[in-house]
Amino acid sequence: MAVSMIGFYHSKVGKLENETIYSLLVEAGRRAIEDSGLEPKDIDAVFVGNYSGGGFNKQEHIAPFVVEIHPDLRFKPCTRVENACASGSTAIEQAMFAIESGKIKNALVIGVEKMTSLKTAGVTEVLAMASYYPEEGGKGYSFPGLYAEYAKGYMAKYGYSKEELWDMLSYITVKAHKNAMANPLAQMHVEYEREYVRTIQDKNPLIADPLKLSDCSLVSDGAAAVVLTTTERALSMKDKVVEIRSLSHTSDYLSIVEGKDQITSLKLQR
């Protein structure tokens, strides 16, 4: 059974000072339902992807707040899905499972995060809770610090110098910022030259050697939402829909305690 998206919404991403985790969730859900052409009563279940509302906003158990989207969502099953950086896509996966099983017909999926409620040190601490805390976050590793260890392992295994690594990473940064220039919802509308991002500058310092500021992700607020249903039902409602052709989910670990050889690749079973 194929699943398609029939409703969409995406907020602006950035430091949204006038928004809360609650307002972001409600706006995203409400607008996605409106875009779908369905009524709120037609939604059979809601899945909310959220990494750490508790850490960032003192709010765990955020999913039931979807009743504020519309009273007709009251008594619908609402579930928060947490899977670190994959929380949003995993929430979509759970909704797909429910639709494919025949348990439900229509699902609302919302991804939301309000990170800027904390200062940098607080954000760093909350993000570190997604690491293996006894050996990583609990021993002072931030996520830039962990990724720096992966970069060192990569350089050691493949014989790259720091300058060669910076040169490779510069292509990614420049491309990402160029794409953002055409996206009004993007957080940073700043175009970078490769010479700037591949060298240490006053405004591009080392964050965790060998990673510079331009190699690291931003602290952001934002929300997105989709309404899912079967492709057959979607095509009966709309001329054009977005079908999910593939979604794959697997798990492994990249642990610094296993040594530099382990952290250069995922050891997937075939």
Q: Quick one: pLDDT at residue 256?
A: 66
Task: Give φ, ψ of 50 to 5 degrees.
Answer: -155, 125
Closest CA to 55 of 111, 109, 10, 121: 121
Quick check: 164 pLDDT over 90? yes
What's this model's pTM, rounded to 2 decimal places?
0.93
CB proximity list for 44: less than 8 A, separation 6 or greater:
76, 77, 98, 104, 105, 106, 107
Query: Starting from the edge strand earliest in sequence, which strands make up the sheet with 107-114, in order?
Result: 78-81, 45-49, 107-114, 221-230, 3-10, 242-243
Judge whether 211 and 147 are in contact, CB under 8 Å: yes
Say what the alpha-carbon torsion angle 73, 76, 105, 235 is, to the nearest 10 degrees: 10
Average per-residue pLDDT for the chain: 93
Q: How many C-beta atoms surround the C-beta of residue 172 within 10 A? A: 12
List of domains in the chain: 3-115+220-248 (3.40.47.10), 120-217 (no CATH)
Whether 270 has a pLDDT exceeding 70, the answer reads: no
Whether the CA torsion 156, 157, 163, 166 is positive or negative: it is negative
Mean pLDDT across 147-154: 89
Q: Which of 135, 88, 76 is nearest to 113 (CA)?
A: 88
Return d(Cα 259, Cα 198) in angstroms, integer: 27
